[in-house]
Amino acid sequence: MAKHIETGKKGEALAVRFLTSKGYTILETNWCNNHKEIDIIAMDRDELVIVEVKTRSTDYFGFPDEFVDAAKQKNLISAAQAYIDKTDMDAGVRYDIVSVILTGTSHTIHHITDAFTPGL
Q: Are 71 and 62 in contact (CB under 8 A)?
A: no
pLDDT at 49: 98
How many domains does the structure of the chain reveal? 1
Measure the CA–CA gap between 69 and 60, rounded to whole angstroms.
Answer: 18
Could you read off the pLDDT tens digit of each residue along the chain, which spans 120 residues? 676 667 778 889 999 999 999 999 999 999 999 889 999 999 999 999 999 999 877 565 656 566 688 899 999 999 999 999 999 999 999 999 999 988 878 889 999 999 998 875
DSSP codes joined into one string, 6-27: HHHHHHHHHHHHHHHHTTPEEE
Classified as helix, coil or strand, 107 is: strand
Residue 79: CATH number of its domain: 3.40.1350.10
Q: Could you tell me the residue range of the domain that residue 112 belongs to? A: 3-116
Angle among Cα 36, 41, 43 to the nearest 5 degrees reads 155
